[in-house]
Amino acid sequence: MNSIKKWAICALVMATYTMYPLQPLAAEINNQQEINNLKQQLQQTETLLKKMQSRLDRLEQRQAQASEQTIPAASPVVSPSITSPQYSQSQPLASPVAMPQPATSSGSASANAFNPEISAVLNGGYYMFTQPTSGFAIPGFAVGDAAGLGKRGFSLNESELDLASNIDNMFYGSLTVSLAPEGGANVEEAFVQTLNAPLGMTVKAGRFFSGIGYLNQFHAHHDDFLDRPLPNRAFLNTQFGDDGVQLRWLAPTDTFLELGGELYSGNAFPGGGGAFRGQGTWDAFMNVGGDIGYSQSWKAGLSYLQTRAIARDAFDAAGNVAGRFSGNSRLLLANMVWKWAPNGNPVDQNFRFQSEFFYRYENGLFGVTTPVSAYQGRQFGWYGEGIYQFMPRWRVGVRHSELFANNSGAAVITGGLLDTGGHRPRRDSVVVGFSNSEFSRIRLQLSRDATQPKVDYQLGLQYIMLLGAHGAHQF
Amino acid sequence: MKHHLRMTIYALLTGAIMAGFSSPAWASIRVFACEPEWAALATEIGGDNVSIYTATHALQDPHHIQARPSLIARMRRANLVIATGAQLEIGWLPVLLRQSANPKIQPGKVGYLAAANYVQKLNIPNRVDRVMGDIHPSGNPHIQTDPRNIAIVAAVLLQRLQQIDPAHADAYQARYQDFTGRWNAALQRWQQQAMPLRGERVLVYHKGWAYLLRWLGMVESDALEPVPGVPPTTSHLSSLLSKLKQQPVAMIIYAAYQNSRAAEWLAGRADIKAVKLPFTVGGTDAASDLFGLYDDTIHRLLIAAQAK
């Protein structure tokens, strides 16, 4: 469209100049009258150009409008010539406005109309801990780099930039870049997804958050709590995503049934080192869901993830590598969510309960710098949370999460990363959230964190604000 | 572990196959109507040749629907999706469309009908800013409150049904003509009945009545929501109350899905009536179909106006 526009403008300019031929710039150029004439001509040309340009714009607009609504008429039986005359007669009330007209132009449909949906998430807060955060660890778990606690005091969290759009009639694309407060950008998600694959299939490729479990695929700004549950932090390094492909199949049934599988590079935790020539992680998941009457809806799922880790790093609270693991890691995940809203209208009141169970079996080698000692880990974790919106804009939530590790092998040394010391990590939180609109949210969370033997009481106050396009939310 | 995995896969496959067989046989065309008014219209024109699933009901706020698994499953096999459009369903429909894995009903295809694209919209903002609340850049989406818009959409729907299901083109045509005849007669009747409402000033809960008020020649004086989408606040209600002393209104109108408290509170203090209107099919007992919707709407407005 743009190049057409340029050509048209060029043509117009040329045409105008031929219509208003400039007089030869001869010797009498110093003649004042001549100069005035020239100025006048130039002005005329300019006005004409402006007129032409606005006419062209209008034409473009109309074309864009038309192409939006062009649905070939198959049957000539009736033309939806929308100004059906019969109504204009039956218009005794035809006050200032006559019969509603068919849709014409509704706003400016310029080339920018094809810009993707752009949105940004601003996120910051204040955090207080009663125990030093520097020594934080989850006893018995060799965790990834994102499993720890946040920073003390005031801090800006990751800001997020999202672009999403249909690419053409076959593909949808989405890009999420997170900007770390200390600088640097990180591609959080960048994927394309098919829109019209046959047989209920959807293929996704690129970097994306995995469809395993319930909470994992959501962006953090969607959450009702300030942080992810303990098991998500320990088993999935808060949120599992990697570079790969996903295939989903939606059953042609009235009850929601979805099967999916993913194949990943194997670089991201719980994988590491890109085993099997860069396809070290795979998973499969199944989700079923439905409604119970008008007021209740539910979804439940089962997922299995398997990976071969090659020298997967484990980190301490300071972000230093504290151990390395090589071997197989298998994770079984069961999840359910149940939602209630009176008459299915969540605007005034609604309630949600969700819970996930994790079981992981790892066997291989572990060591502080090189994986040399035998290690077998059987680890279990779960969380349950309830969120109740008791009146418009206000909600409260409670969450309990718990971990349990049973590790064995020569790698488990007293006081080491894999030694639980007989402790079961637990964490309880309550949260109060206020959303002035769908786009702004402020929340206060109190936690009793018994992840380590010394109980830590934590307070967090956080804002999350969404700028730009209105995103649609998944269930 | 391997054994467990195999068992899991068997269980999944068995589940899938059982679910596949348990789905009942349906009429030829599956219509997924986002709002009850479009479901009712599809019933009028499609008759027995279509099976209709209504995604929402009259007691739900169509702006705020959760993209529930049941909706995704129903959209998976739909032949035609009828939405209002104009960003009314922006918080949930895009997710359904993307997750439905159904190429036939994607925007731009014959199987996707956004009704608001075919009528002239009101309240098109010349400036959009979220300070103004949940406004719709392409205009007010609540087009179903004017029955003349229903007639316009009916013609579009007929065409779509004929394209998707040419075998029953004549049947759709016949039902359309029958409907249009009855609709025109009803329009005459409604407009006659509603004569006394002309020029009446009303307070609305949400700016969802622009089309109804224009049709009946009524005037919207203000809204209980301080800005669209933000629930009424006490301070806003008190300022409305003091305004009402200078410029009285005939009544306050609100939709069946909206909380009546704010409207009743203000109505009680200003000594006017708060009128619950069905807003869509099913909003009140009398609004059991499209004809009942406007019969009851006008009936309720007239009662409130007479009580003034």
Q: What is the mean pLDDT of residues A165-170?
A: 90
Contacts of B248 (CB under 8 A, 6+ apart): B201, B270, B272
- What per-residue confidence (pLDDT) applies to A60? 57
What is the distance between the alpha carbons of residues A278 and A271, in angstroms, rounded to a whole number?
11
pTM: 0.81
B189 touches A: beta carbon within 8 Å: no
Q: Which residues of A touch B19 (CB under 8 A)?
A: 251, 253, 255, 257
DSSP β-ladder status, B80-83 and B112-114: parallel
| Closest alpha carbon within chain B to A201 | B101
- What per-residue confidence (pLDDT) applies to B132? 81
DSSP-based three-state secondary structure for B191:
helix
Q: Which of A149, A152, A153, A154 is nearest to A226 (CA)?
A: A149
Q: Which of B150, B88, B107, B35 is nearest to A69 (CA)?
A: B107
| Closest alpha carbon within chain A to B196 | A93
In order of their start, the domains of chain B are 24-189 (3.40.50.1980), 196-307 (3.40.50.1980)
- What per-residue confidence (pLDDT) applies to A49? 67
B131 touches A: beta carbon within 8 Å: no
Q: What is the mean pLDDT of residues A212-224?
A: 93
- What per-residue confidence (pLDDT) applies to A91? 41
Q: Which residue has the higher pLDDT, A257 or A71?
A: A257
Q: Which residues of A touch B92 (CB under 8 A)?
A: 472-473
Q: Which of A219, A345, A361, A434 to mutate to test the interface with B (most CBs of B within 10 A)?
A: A345
- What per-residue confidence (pLDDT) applies to A311? 95
Q: Which residues of A touch B15 (CB under 8 A)?
A: 257, 286, 288
Task: Assess whether pLDDT exceeds 50 at residue A475.
Answer: yes
Task: Assess whether pLDDT exceeds 60 at residue A370.
Answer: yes
- What per-residue confidence (pLDDT) applies to A227? 94
Q: What is the mean pLDDT of residues A264-281?
A: 94
Q: Which residues of B touch A250 (CB under 8 A)?
A: 72-73, 76, 99-101
Which tokens in the block code for residue B163? Answer: 């394209």
Q: Which of B293, B274, B272, B271 is nearest to B284 (CA)?
A: B293
**Nearest-by-Cβ selection for A473 from B91, B184, B211:** B91
- B 190-219 residues inside an 8 A Cβ radius of A: 191-192, 194-195, 198, 211, 214-217
Question: What rounded mean pLDDT belongs to chain B?
Answer: 90
Which tokens in the block code for residue A242? Answer: 């990697």
- Number of Cβ atoms within 10 Å of the Cβ of A345: 23
B188 touches A: beta carbon within 8 Å: yes
Contact between A232 and A210 under an 8 Å Cβ cutoff? The reply is: no
Torsion sign, CA atoms B70, B74, B75, B76: positive
Burial call B96-107: b when 16+ CB within 10 Å, e when fewer: bbbbbbbbbbbb
- What per-residue confidence (pLDDT) applies to A101? 55
Q: Does A74 contact B166 at a Cβ distance shorter than 8 Å? A: yes
Mean pLDDT of successive 10-residue segments in chain B (308 residues)? 58 52 58 97 96 95 93 96 95 94 94 96 87 85 96 97 96 97 96 95 94 96 90 92 92 94 93 95 96 97 89
Q: Does B91 contact A169 at a Cβ distance shorter than 8 Å? A: no
Q: Does A343 contact B59 at a Cβ distance shorter than 8 Å? A: yes
Contact between A447 and A401 under an 8 Å Cβ cutoff? The reply is: no
pLDDT range class, residue A89, cuts 50, 70, 90: very low
Q: pLDDT per residue over A328-364, tens digit each?
A: 999 999 999 999 999 999 988 999 999 999 999 999 9
Q: Which of B14, B102, B8 is nearest to A284 (CA)?
A: B8
- What per-residue confidence (pLDDT) applies to A175? 96
Which tokens in the block code for residue B121? Answer: 């919209």
The percent of residues above 70 in pLDDT, for chain A, comes to 77
Q: Does A78 contact B60 at a Cβ distance shorter than 8 Å? A: no
DSSP A3-45: HHHHHHHHHHHHHHHHHSPPPP--GGGG-HHHHHHHHHHHHHH
Q: Which residue has the higher pLDDT, A58 or A297?
A: A297
**Nearest-by-Cβ selection for A345 from B93, B116, B257:** B257
Judged by average pLDDT, the poorest of A32-46, A441-455, B15-29 is B15-29
Which tokens in the block code for residue B214? Answer: 């224009």
What is the distance between the alpha carbons of residues B164 and A206, in angstroms, rounded to a whole number?
35
Question: What's the N-to-C CA distance of chain A in angstroms?
Answer: 39
Q: Which residues of B touch A362 (CB under 8 A)?
A: none
Q: Which residues of B touch A74 (CB under 8 A)?
A: 159, 162-163, 166
| Closest alpha carbon within chain B to A288 | B69
Q: Shortest Cα distance from B213 to chain A (angstroms)?
A: 11
- Secondary structure E strands in B92-183: 112-114
Contact between A239 and A207 under an 8 Å Cβ cutoff? The reply is: no
Q: Which of B70, B89, B201 to mutate to test the interface with A (most CBs of A within 10 A)?
A: B70
Q: What is the mean pLDDT of residues A403-426?
A: 93
At B306, give phi and psi (nearest 5°).
Answer: -70, -35
CA dist list (Å): B281 to B62, B161, B176, B278: 13, 21, 19, 7
What is the distance between the alpha carbons of residues B203 and B241, in angstroms, rounded to a whole number?
11
Q: pLDDT per residue over B31-85, tens digit each?
A: 999 999 999 999 999 999 999 999 999 999 999 999 999 999 999 999 999 999 9
CA dist list (Å): A85 to A82, A100, A128, B184: 9, 11, 70, 11
Task: Assess whether pLDDT exceeds 70 at residue A422.
Answer: yes
Q: Which residues of B touch A84 (CB under 8 A)?
A: 151-152, 155
Q: Does B138 contact A84 at a Cβ distance shorter than 8 Å? A: no
Contact between A149 and A125 under an 8 Å Cβ cutoff? The reply is: no
Strand ranges of the sheet holding B80-83, from the earlier edge strand across to the other edge: B50-54, B29-33, B80-83, B112-114
- What per-residue confidence (pLDDT) applies to A77? 36
| Closest alpha carbon within chain A to B164 | A74
Task: Assess whether pLDDT exceeds 60 at residue A438.
Answer: yes
What is the distance between the alpha carbons of residues B88 and B141, in angstroms, rounded to a whole number?
6
Q: Which of A399, A414, A404 is nearest to A448 (CA)?
A: A399
Q: Which of A89, A90, A304 to mutate to test the interface with B (most CBs of B within 10 A)?
A: A90
